[in-house]
Amino acid sequence: MAITRRTLLKRLAVSGLGAAASASPLGAFGANGAAWPEVIRIGVAQPALGTPPTFAGSSLSIAHARGWLEESFKPAGTRVEWFFFKGAGPAVNEALSTRQLDFALQGDLPAIVARAAGLKTRLVLATGIRTNIYIGVPPDSPLKTVADLRGKRVSLFKGTNMHLPALRLLEANGLAEKDLRLLNLDTAGYLAALTTRDIDAAIGAMDILRLRDKGAVRILYSSKNQSPVYTRQSHVLVTDEFAGKYPEATRQFVRTAVQAARWASDEKNREEVLRTWARAGTPYEHWKEDYEGEPLRVRLNPNFDPFLVARYKDATEQAYRLRLSRARFEVDQWIDTSFLKTALNDLGLQSHWPVYQANGKILGA
């Protein structure tokens, strides 16, 4: 069934977002005469938790926690509003399709599905890339390898950026989706199902470590220190409509996001970054474990380097092949690095982050 504006606003109202989401940006003018919106609406494909509400895992979450975007747009009189979606990327797509958002932080697959369906967006910034996946099983489970999942009840949060790397991992171990009894469960659902043993395994995020610490789960597989092909990728996108109408505001957004990435990827800020993310519900110890031995600059890199571009191209082909998206499209035309390049040049950060080749190895290594 098609999602109408009215339907979406009713859904958002249930989450306390209805009034804010119904606002639409009206033209205002900054000191330089450029048009600036009254409001910038940012969608995040995860819930915000804690006091004050916080989300985690990206440099944009640090910008949110420290109010840097709000401060950046204050001189222009532009408000910044954040919307958080428990339904992850697919829910963000609904809001984008009904013009309720201007920018969004989400994973590769939902954005690919939306783009293939005709949603006009541009990828302008990477953040929260190479995020690990975990497979948890009951501690006394006889399963030892990924290949042992054949015929088992396995949960996977479909439609998110967990979906494609999970299927890629299964394929590498001789399994297709039809070889498993695959169940679509969100984070809370698969954690509960693992605890009650209603499933044999869960493919998920580091939330699984909570159950491991309680002795309720054994980690069957982690992508940590494995091929980055099996990790999750995410980005910030802007609608074509907003970028075309407010290019200066888009440049300012990306510039501030790059500054946040610079601060968040500085090793001297590691403790503060991880503890800020821990306010969103995942224990600090788990963030520390997940990031151990890996520079922040790898995961909080804003650039679309050859590795990340290759991942998005592969994901686009994989989504079409598996009939998760309607059509192929040119990824190179979807990624718009013009705003990012301007920000990097203005801030002198052209060579600040490492550049990885398509095979995941650092350039020049």
Same-domain check for residues 268 and 219: no
Residue 352 placed within a domain: no
pLDDT of res. 27: 39
Same-domain check for residues 226 and 237: no
For 156-181, what is the mean pLDDT? 93
Token pair for 306: 């050859």
Residue 365 has pLDDT above 70, yes or no: no
Domain boundary among 230, 247, 279: 230
Residue 365 placed within a domain: no
Pairing of strands 201-204, 153-156: parallel
Residue 363 placed within a domain: no
Residue 322 placed within a domain: yes
The Cα 107–Cα 126 span in angstroms is: 10
Same-domain check for residues 71 and 116: yes
Residue 31 has pLDDT above 70, yes or no: no
Same-domain check for residues 254 and 309: yes
Rounded to two decimals, the pTM is: 0.87
Look at residues 313, 209, 258 and name the one whose alpha carbon lies nearest to residue 62: 258
Same-domain check for residues 123 and 247: yes
Alpha helices in the chain (DSSP H): 5-14, 18-21, 59-66, 68-73, 88-97, 108-116, 163-172, 187-195, 208-213, 240-245, 247-264, 270-278, 284-291, 296-299, 306-321, 331-334, 338-347
Domain region containing 168 = 134-230
Same-domain check for residues 39 and 70: yes
Residue 76 placed within a domain: yes
Domain boundary among 230, 264, 294: 230
Same-domain check for residues 138 and 98: no
Q: What CA–CA distances, in Å, run from 139 to 142, 170, 219, 350?
A: 9, 21, 8, 47
Q: Is 106 helix (H, G, I), strand (E, B) or coil?
A: strand
pLDDT digits (tens, 9 = 90+) for 333-362: 999 999 999 999 999 999 999 999 888 777
Residue 288 placed within a domain: yes
Residue 174 placed within a domain: yes
Find the CATH number of the domain harbouring 291: 3.40.190.10
Residue 169 placed within a domain: yes
Residue 28 has pLDDT above 80, yes or no: no
Residue 24 has pLDDT above 90, yes or no: no
Residue 111 has pLDDT above 70, yes or no: yes
Same-domain check for residues 151 and 207: yes
Same-domain check for residues 223 and 310: no
Count CB-CB contacts under 10 A for residue 133: 24
Q: 2 Cβ partners below 8 Å, 6+ apart?
A: none
Q: How many structural domains does the chain have?
A: 2
Domain boundary among 184, 206, 230: 230
For 165-188, what is the mean pLDDT? 94
Same-domain check for residues 138 and 22: no
Same-domain check for residues 14 and 92: yes
